[in-house]
Amino acid sequence: MSAEYILGISAYYHDSAACLLKDGEIIAAAQEERFSRKKHDSRFPVHAIQYCLGEAGISIDDVLHIVFYDKPLVKFERLLETYLAYAPKGLFSFFSAMPVWLKEKLFLKSTLKKEFSSLSPSKKSPNLLFTEHHQAHAASTFFVSPFEKSIVLCLDGVGEWATTTAWLGEGNKLTPLWEIDFPHSIGLLYSAFTYYTGFKVNSGEYKVMGLAPYGEPRYTDLIYKYLVDLKEDGTFRLNMEYFNYAAGLTMTNDKFHRLFGGPPRKSESTLTQKEMDLARSVQDVTEEVMLRLARSVQRETGVKNLCLSGGVALNCVANGKILKAKIFDEIFIQPAAGDAGGALGAALSAHYEYKNHPRKVNPNDSMKGSYLGPSFTNDQIKSSLDKLGAKYTYFEDSKINHKLAQVLADGNVVGYFQGRMEFGPRALGGRSIIGDPRNRKMQSVMNLKIKYRESFRPFAPAVLADNVSDYFDIQSKSPYMLIVADVLEKHRIQMTEEEKKLFGIEKLNVPRSSLPSITHVDYSARIQTVHKDTNPKFYSLIEEFKKITDCPVMVNTSFNVRGEPIVSTPEDAYRCFMRTEMDFLVLENYILDKKDQPVVEKDDSWKQEFELD
């Protein structure tokens, strides 16, 4: 019997991606941005599709079903109803939205058929299916989770109508329990504060989360009094008098600005205590909403496991709070929780719900560590490096980790490129920049000289799974860097009375623990547990680092500069290495020392290449 291939697609809104299943197993998944080098690229994911097909060695004609992660006609209905409800206020944004809809989104079926037949050797039109947006989110997390039965919560900005949904996942079925509809959205509330604090909506939300520990929750009472009517069970309504996203082209309006004492902060201007306090306040409200929803859905069903998805599920601080509250025995979060993961969910939904195939539960999870993107052989890497005129040294498997561990222990920053590229927004040791977490200067060096980004942003620890509870207050694994937990008391450095008086960003330079570069100002850390079965190379490197330093933890951040997608190819990696003050680059078995590379004229014009996030 021939294999059954299903291709899932997300496109035209945020973060286009493609995912290929073979008899229900994930063969490949990748975001279009990694190939096009345009962050959050929303165009038809032609490169991601070609990569997925190439990984399986098939053509588009071999695919049984192509599944899109959204129902565009239902979304169009929501837009029309919203603009009518807010008329005449909504007319301006109605006229700006319509050309795009009439050109590509309303007639999406014929647009997709045209795109796919141009990829087909026989020019035949494919068999297209459509899932609902939140159904794709729910499928993306439950069907790969280690649970036979679980509650599924999906929280994002908005799909067609739904902004928050709860599901019961059991075997190969997802049963919807309830939903909260547009315009009431915790994701859009968070985005409104992202916009107001001067960051970019749909990409700057994680900055608000990183900024929150520097602030005090001074505005939470105002949010509850004027913006959000939050019920005991976690359901909520927003007061639309303060928001502009339903009718206009901005998130907030003058009434919102008056409530919080002035216009939105201009992008790239100085961050003040006000922005830190706003960030902390909206973060606290979001956590409270998520905790209440989790408690009430657990009470209603008695189910002991929770799966999370949707863009709000990338809020790893809130995830950590749910875990710590012990509402559920176990939690699983889809690593590509945002719209890119919709491609995976659409394919899985077709496999299990449409085709009714039985589901075999993997006790770890079925994501393969999220290492689902392209990889490169040593021969391919050598050929690329020779063309670039790079200088490199080859190391055998048995020697490379010892050399690298020593380089890291000496305080160097290393670009680390090996194995398959990660699917989702986090680098997990495939396309990472790594360093020594004991080094006090590592956070500011990495932020300012390598990532070219704001100094307040924290870095994550990659820690051997067996050692995680020796350093952090967490008993669960966190392979996808989606749970924040506290650094244990025994590793903390208590602040002096003088240091306690410091405000906001002044707190940044006060070391908080024996691992200062991964400990945030509130003694928390966004944890990645590293597992031998999913990333043996990265695991062995940290083991070697532990032998030399007695420290089983490493700083891990994504291999890119601010505004750039994570690197995908050896060429991307070398370019990023040469543009920054990284000390070493590792590409599979090749190590490159910056000092040995050909001198290039310092040219910062590339900084204009990437839109600031």
DSSP 355-371: S-------SS-SSGGGB
Indicate if the alpha-carbon torsion angle 402, 404, 407, 410 is positive or negative. negative
Cβ atoms of 157 and 342 within 8 Å: the answer is: no
Structure tokens at 422: 């990660």
pLDDT of residue 106: 65
Does 600 have pLDDT greater than 80? no
428, 432, 438, 442 alpha-carbon torsion, rounded to 10°: -140
pLDDT digits (tens, 9 = 90+) for 136-153: 999 999 999 999 999 999
pLDDT digits (tens, 9 = 90+) for 223-282: 999 999 999 999 999 999 999 887 777 889 999 999 999 999 998 888 999 999 999 999
pLDDT digits (tens, 9 = 90+) for 275-326: 999 999 999 999 999 999 999 999 999 999 999 999 999 999 999 999 999 9
Cβ atoms of 531 and 467 within 8 Å: the answer is: no
Does 606 have pLDDT greater than 60? no
Cβ atoms of 153 and 186 within 8 Å: the answer is: no
Distance of CA 62 to the CA centre of its chain: 31
Q: Which residue, 27, 82, 79, is CA-closest to 49?
A: 27
- Interatomic CA distance for residues 80 and 477, integer angstroms: 44
Q: Which residue, 597, 146, 179, is CA-closest to 329?
A: 146
- One-character DSSP codes across 298-346: HHHH---EEEEESGGGG-HHHHHHHHHTTSSSEEEE-TT-STTHHHHHH
pLDDT of residue 301: 97
Q: What is the 3-state secondary structure (H, E, C) of 107-176?
A: CHHHHHHHHHHHHCCCCCCCCEEECCHHHHHHHHHHCCCCCCEEEEEEECCCCCCEEEEEEEEECCEEEE
- Interatomic CA distance for residues 348 and 25, integer angstroms: 9
Does 493 have pLDDT greater than 80? yes
Q: How many CA atoms lie within 13 A of 529 on its CB side?
A: 21
At 564, give phi and psi (nearest 5°).
-100, 140
At 505, give phi and psi (nearest 5°).
-65, -20
Cβ atoms of 552 and 538 within 8 Å: the answer is: no
Collapsing DSSP states into helix, strand and coil, what is residue 238? strand
- Interatomic CA distance for residues 366 and 432, integer angstroms: 22
Structure tokens at 356: 């009714």
Claim: this prediction has a pTM higher than 0.85:
yes
Collapsing DSSP states into helix, strand and coil, what is residue 50? helix
- Interatomic CA distance for residues 248 and 279, integer angstroms: 23
Q: What is the mean pLDDT of residues 490-506?
A: 79
At 596, give phi and psi (nearest 5°).
-85, -10
Structure tokens at 319: 């995830």
Per-chain mean pLDDT for the chain: 91
Residue 513 DSSP one-character state: B
Query: Maximum distance among all alpha carbons in the chain?
Result: 74
Q: Which residue, 326, 346, 340, 403, is CA-closest to 373?
A: 340
Structure tokens at 165: 């949904």
Residue 343 DSSP one-character state: H
- Interatomic CA distance for residues 109 and 119, integer angstroms: 16
**39-53, 57-71, 454-468, range with the lowest pLDDT:** 454-468
pLDDT digits (tens, 9 = 90+) for 527-555: 999 999 999 999 999 999 999 999 999 99
Q: Which residue, 350, 446, 355, is CA-closest to 132?
A: 350
Cβ atoms of 260 and 195 within 8 Å: the answer is: no
Q: Work out whether strand 173-181 and strand 128-130 pair parallel, antiparallel, or are unpaired.
A: unpaired
pLDDT of residue 28: 98
Q: Which residue, 22, 71, 32, 49, is CA-closest to 126?
A: 49
Beta bridge partners of 524: 486
* Cβ neighbourhood burial of 601 (10 Å; 0-12, 13-18, 19+): exposed
